[in-house]
Structure 1
């Protein structure tokens, strides 16, 4: 069974991040999509290797943190390492255009009623 986050050894987290506790504004939020751009190489830190393997298929930052069972803040530091070396790319979801009209609430209510009747 994998250890719970609250059981995580703080010394290990310190080692994983190289003593860093934060990164400059990296533009990574919980839903930023990460994609591997290369395979792991010998000698890479094990957490970096796991991220590269996980992100062969696009994966959100929060999903990576969950899979690694590490705090998001630690994962963001690790991702910045990989971004700086070009080993991963990051894509933020596109916001809806400002001119997009919101759906009519009555139409949404009718859809909901229709779905409930299925």
Structure 2
């Protein structure tokens, strides 16, 4: 039985299903490649007949269709913990419905002096 996305949240009470239930009790994604800053995009592969996708899986595919987005951004949009999103993305990756790209290379690493300046600036506030 498939649930519609609006059945997961009650406007007054908030989420009516615990996050671990959305992820079917799993806490780890099937692929370690799914990092917080990894970019996810939907593929054009057809849905496999054996795929057991929940409403959250389908919402997730819709969220990354036509664009590449970081995992953390998708989690914020879907209002689910990043751990749950990573588990759901692992399912979609296993079915070939999404691709995962590592985060973009950093322009440079912050130096100790820069970090000290930031800390001093924050203390001055």
> Could you tell me which of 54, 57, 68 is aligned with 1:45?
54
**2:24 counterpart (18, 41, 50):** 18
The answer for unaligned runs of 5 or more in structure 2 is: 1-8, 109-125
Distance 1:27 1:19, change over 3 A: same
Distance in 1 (CA, whole Å) between partners of 2:103 and 2:72 is 14
Q: Which residue in 1 is equivalent to 2:87?
A: 77
Q: In the superposition, relative to structure 1, how do residues 53 and 29 fare at CA in structure 2: closer, same or farther (>3 Å)?
A: same
Cα distance per residue 1:24-73 (max 9 Å; x no partner)? 56122221000001488597311111111110111110011001100001
Unpaired runs of at least 5, structure 1: 101-118
Distance 1:18 1:38, change over 3 A: farther
SS of corresponding position for 2:74: helix
RMSD: 3.0
Q: Does 1:36 align with 2:46?
A: no
Q: CA deviation at 1:95?
A: 2.8
Aligned length, in residue pairs: 96
SS in 2 for 1:90: strand
Q: Which residue of 2 aligns with 1:66?
A: 76
User: Whole-Å Cα distance in 1 between the matches of residues 101 and 83 of structure 2?
Assistant: 18
TM-score (norm 1): 0.65
Larger radius of gyration: 1
